[in-house]
């Protein structure tokens, strides 16, 4: 099964930057249509909010609250089982304070297949 392990969270002042990483293992080595796509979501205590995802065509989709400030990227899996997903967060704001989750989603949707354990990001004013 897919395992997702986040790292890189921490505390930063408003206007600063952080880069989150997600180590993915057990990524399905099946056909392109059965493999999920990687994404980031966050929780500020009232459910999970879409942040960014890599779509099937390798384009990126962002939540309205982070457009222009966050960038998702990933290393292509060489063995079809492992890859790394990143979230570069710039110009952070106090309202970005949340637990950030790496996730495998049904491609081109925000419907989750698997979640990581989450990593805390705290932005102070």
Q: Rg (Cα) of the chain, in Å, rounded?
A: 14
pLDDT per position as a tens digit, 30-81:
445 567 899 999 999 889 999 999 998 989 999 999 999 999 999 877 777 7
Residue 96 has which token pair?
A: 């970005």
Which has the higher per-residue pLDDT, 82 or 41?
Answer: 41
pLDDT at 96: 98
Estimate to the nearest angstrom the gap between the alpha carbon of 97 and the chain centroid: 15
CA distances from 103 to 15, 51, 61, 66, 95 (A): 26, 11, 14, 17, 21
């Amino acid at each position: 099964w897919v395992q997702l392990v986040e790292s890189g969270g921490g505390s930063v002042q408003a206007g600063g930057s952080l880069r989150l990483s997600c180590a993915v293992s057990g990524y399905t080595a099946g056909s392109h249509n059965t493999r999920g796509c990687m994404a980031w979501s966050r929780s500020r205590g009232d459910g999970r909010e879409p942040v960014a995802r890599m779509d099937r065509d390798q384009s990126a989709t962002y939540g309205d609250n982070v457009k222009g400030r966050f960038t998702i990227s990933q290393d292509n899996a060489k063995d079809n089982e492992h890859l790394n997903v990143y979230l570069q967060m710039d110009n952070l704001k106090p309202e970005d304070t949340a637990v950030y989750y790496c996730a495998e989603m049904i491609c081109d949707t925000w419907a989750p297949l698997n979640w990581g354990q989450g990593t805390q990001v705290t932005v102070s004013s």
